[in-house]
């Protein structure tokens, strides 16, 4: 299936915090989706596949508002933040198999101005991220939210491999540096040093405030079709060379894994590289789902950019910054651009591969890698080329 499907359109709303988007979650998704459809040179009536983000969008509602009157493929990959990148693979399979011609992958939310997890869980414990296992076996002990879950892994990594806070800080600083080259980034114009990072308060030790992604309002979307159909469309297609997704085991419980660093990406990455016919050394830049800093480090290891345990030294010395050996999250990521449910990682990869990334363009970018991370460590990866 290599190179048989491609991304032909991207759309994004503005990203903001105060005073909030002033739009509904649905309207944000629609605005981003309409932008992606228009950018692709398509009409809404030609979109016959929609893959909404889990628990955020409904295909029926999106289609009815947009005017997608020929919808025939609607599916959601239930992998939390790993869903959009996992959807790229599913959308590619759908268009290649003829189940749909043009698939829309939209997302958007009021992550800043809408209800926060810490509010919803206190009024309804059943709404806790992680579901009934989290409610019955974590919440009574005060573990309520993702930064706490993942910091359990981060501490264990520090113990086994000597990973240091300064190395997590190098990730936060790199993302912030990239955001200075991205006018859409919420943290544009607000640089940050390693000293700033180290001085930020602990929230879920070893996670400090600046280890955690932004909470923002906004939406983004992409459109996928076949390479053949892409020839008639206005933009240079970005080809999906290979994609894969995977789950840790067990996926519904985070403490009882024999190997706690074996996440979904551990399974998915070798499959994606095999499908794409490339290796990590062929990748010009990487868009790594950065809900928290350590997840970037861990995913760099599990993708195979470095060996497990070597992620700490790997991220130091500017290697993951623009101009470095492997620029990571050239838009600033969830940490410094915005949290658009991981779709922003895809739209930025498309810009890089089209050569439209302006001041943050990676020179001669030919192949990029995008990951998603969700729930208790579900993983997805797509390898894209121009």
Q: Which of 161, 17, 29, 3 is nearest to 84 (CA)?
A: 29
Q: Which of 49, 52, 68 is nearest to 5 (CA)?
A: 49
The CA distance from 225 to 6, in Å, is 6
Alpha-carbon dihedral 308, 329, 385, 231, rounded to 10 degrees: 150
Residues of this chain that bind another protein (CB under 8 A)? 117-118, 121-122, 125, 132-133, 135-145, 148, 151-153, 155-156, 159, 201-207, 250, 253, 255-256, 260
Q: Minimal distance in Å, beta carbon 371 to another protein? A: 23
- Phi-psi region at 121: left, alpha or beta (left = phi > 0; alpha = psi -120 to 50): alpha
The CA distance from 51 to 88, in Å, is 9
> What Cα–Cα distance (Å) separates residue 24 from each residue in 185, 222, 378?
21, 20, 28
Residue partners of 9: CB distance under 8 A and separation at least 6: 36, 37, 38, 39, 40, 41, 42, 222, 223, 233, 235
Question: In terms of CB distance, is 22 or 137 closer to another protein?
Answer: 137
Question: In terms of CB distance, is 121 or 286 closer to another protein?
Answer: 121
Query: φ and ψ at 8, to 5 degrees?
Result: -120, -5
Kind plus residue range of the DSSP H or E element containing 376: none
Q: For residues 221 and 104, is the Cβ–Cβ distance under 8 A? A: yes
Query: φ and ψ at 323, to 5 degrees?
Result: 90, -15
Q: Which of 135, 226, 185, 233 is nearest to 338 (CA)?
A: 185
The CA distance from 77 to 91, in Å, is 11
86: its two tokens: 């996992």
Q: Minimal distance in Å, beta carbon 126 to another protein? A: 8
């Amino acid at each position: 299936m290599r190179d048989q499907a491609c991304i032909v359109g991207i759309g994004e709303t503005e990203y903001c915090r105060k005073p909030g988007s002033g739009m509904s979650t649905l309207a944000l998704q629609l605005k981003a989706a309409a932008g992606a459809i228009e950018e692709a040179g398509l009409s809404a009536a030609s979109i016959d596949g929609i893959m909404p983000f889990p628990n955020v969008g409904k295909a029926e509602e999106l289609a009815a508002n947009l005017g997608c009157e020929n919808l025939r493929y609607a599916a959601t990959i239930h992998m939390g933040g790993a869903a959009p990148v996992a959807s790229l693979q599913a959308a590619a399979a759908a268009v290649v198999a003829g189940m749909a011609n043009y698939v829309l992958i939209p997302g958007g939310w009021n992550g800043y101005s809408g209800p926060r997890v810490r509010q919803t869980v206190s009024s309804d414990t059943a709404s806790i991220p992680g579901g009934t296992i989290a409610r019955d076996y974590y919440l009574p002990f005060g573990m309520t939210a993702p930064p706490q879950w993942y910091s359990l892994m981060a501490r264990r990594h520090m113990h086994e491999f000597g990973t240091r806070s300064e190395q997590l800080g190098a990730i936060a600083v790199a993302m912030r540096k990239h955001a200075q080259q991205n006018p859409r980034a919420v943290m544009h114009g607000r640089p940050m040093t390693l000293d700033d990072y180290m001085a930020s308060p602990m929230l879920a030790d070893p996670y400090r405030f600046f280890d955690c992604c932004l909470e923002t309002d906004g939406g983004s979307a992409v459109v996928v079709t076949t390479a053949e159909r892409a020839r008639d469309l206005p933009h240079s297609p970005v080809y999906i060379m290979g994609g894969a997704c995977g789950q840790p085991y067990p996926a519904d419980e985070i403490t009882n894994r024999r190997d706690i660093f074996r996440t979904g990406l551990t399974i998915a990455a070798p499959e994606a590289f095999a499908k794409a016919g490339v290796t990590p050394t062929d990748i010009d830049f990487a868009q790594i789902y950065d809900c928290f800093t350590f997840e970037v480090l861990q995913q760099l290891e599990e993708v195979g950019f470095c060996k497990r345990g070597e992620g700490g030294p790997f991220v130091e010395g500017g290697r993951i910054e623009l101009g470095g050996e492997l620029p990571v999250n050239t838009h600033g990521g969830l940490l410094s651009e915005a949290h658009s449910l991981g779709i922003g990682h895809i739209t930025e990869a498309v810009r890089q591969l089209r050569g439209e990334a302006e001041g943050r363009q990676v020179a001669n970018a030919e192949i990029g890698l995008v990951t998603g991370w969700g729930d208790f460590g579900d993983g997805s990866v797509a390898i894209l080329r121009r």
